[in-house]
Amino acid sequence: MNRFSARVAGLASFILSAFSFAAQAQSDDYVGKKGQAYFSWGYNKEWYTHSNIHVKQESLGNDYTFRNIWGKDKPGWDTKSIFKQALSIPQYNYRLGYWFADNWAVEINFDHTKYQVEQQQLLHVTGTMNHQAVDTYMINRGNIRWQLNNGANFFLFNLVHRKQIPYLKFKNFNASLLLKGGVGFMTPHVENTIFGKNNDPGFQFGGLDAGVEADLRLTFFKYVYLEYCNKLLYANYWGLDVYEGQARQSFGCYEMIVNLGVNVPVIRQKKKKTATE
């Protein structure tokens, strides 16, 4: 069995197991009910605001800022097709949530995103270099190679509210809008070269973030759903490792995300009593 077939078989087995467990719960209005959990996996595309990168290397006499830097993402489908790429190489994301009340949930929300400073852009550098004041411009031809490439890695703890879309509620299909907001932290993989000096790349705690998200969730046969998400996030990084020092950076991010997920009942729903009971 090749790798793709094995992945398909594993996914099918997981979905069938979820169906088997979920079949124990009966409800005419299953979506977003108290006592359910859900899990999804998907992929994302990002756009970032311009930002500043402040570098401080006391032993080298450096305390300067790259101003108005432009960065981009790296989706991961560039060199290989979707079926020949490891699932965790592209920009992926997952959500794990629990409906603690009807239409209200708490959620762990993780986005494996990537950030790279664009080459061939004009750099404005101000501050102190080698104990000397600087305010200069240069074309970035490897002067700064800055990567949060394994990735920028946004964690959020979200509060979720579900709104049913009118007239799109049927026996085997449901369309609803999910509104989310939360705060969290980042665990970036920091790798950089600044003026020829490399850092020791690796994962680290990176700072705090906050975000809001709006999702269109299409649920099929009560237990499987497809989700299209739009997300705005602000990330404030500090203490990022550079050669003989540290750096900080803040930027805004807009994400588009597609997820495939399953609903699983955790608490069995009580049947409503009829008038004859």
Backbone angles phi, psi at 166, to 5 degrees: -55, 140
> What is the mean pLDDT of the segment spanning 142-150?
93
Total of domains in the chain: 1
User: Domain for residue 273, yes or no?
Assistant: no
Which structural domain range is residue 164 located in?
3-265
* Confidence at residue 271, expressed as pLDDT on a 0 to 100 scale: 58
Q: Which two tokens stand for residue 159?
A: 């509060």
pLDDT one-digit tens code per residue, 105-120: 999 999 999 999 999 9
User: Domain for residue 31, yes or no?
Assistant: yes
Nearest CA to 154 out of 80, 54, 229, 79 is that of: 229
User: Domain for residue 274, yes or no?
Assistant: no
Task: Quote the mean pLDDT of the chain.
Answer: 87
Split at pLDDT 50, 70, 90, the class of 7 is: low
38: three-class secondary structure by DSSP = strand
pLDDT exceeds 80 at position 237: yes
User: Domain for residue 277, yes or no?
Assistant: no
Split at pLDDT 50, 70, 90, the class of 87 is: low
pLDDT exceeds 60 at position 23: no
* Confidence at residue 20, expressed as pLDDT on a 0 to 100 scale: 45
Q: Where are the alpha helices (DSSP H) in 28-164?
A: none
Q: What pTM did the predictor assign?
A: 0.83
Q: Which residues contact 192 (CB under 8 A, 6 or more apart)?
A: 144, 145, 146, 147, 198, 199, 201, 242, 247
Torsion angle, alpha carbons of 226, 216, 82, 88, to 10: -90
- Segment of 75-84, 165-174, 252-261 carrying the highest mean pLDDT: 252-261
Report the C-alpha gap between 43 and 89 in whole angstroms: 10
Q: Burial letters for 240-267: b for 16+ Cβ neighbours within 10 Å, e otherwise? A: bbbbebbbbbbbebebebebebbbbbee
Greatest alpha-carbon pair distance for the chain in Å reads: 88
What's 270's DSSP letter? P
pLDDT one-digit tens code per residue, 153-191: 999 999 999 999 998 989 899 999 999 999 999 999 999
Q: Strand pairing partners for 98? A: 37, 106
> What is the mean pLDDT of the segment spanning 116-139?
95
Report the C-alpha gap between 210 and 270 in whole angstroms: 37
User: Domain for residue 270, yes or no?
Assistant: no
Split at pLDDT 50, 70, 90, the class of 267 is: confident
Report the C-alpha gap between 171 and 57 in whole angstroms: 62
Q: Which has more pLDDT, 267 or 116?
A: 116
* Confidence at residue 63, expressed as pLDDT on a 0 to 100 scale: 97
Q: Which two tokens stand for residue 222?
A: 């009560």
User: Domain for residue 255, yes or no?
Assistant: yes
Split at pLDDT 50, 70, 90, the class of 201 is: very high
Q: Would you put residue 143 in left (φ > 0), alpha (ψ -120 to 50) or beta?
A: alpha
Q: Percentage of the chain with pLDDT > 90?
A: 74
CATH number at residue 134: 2.40.160.20
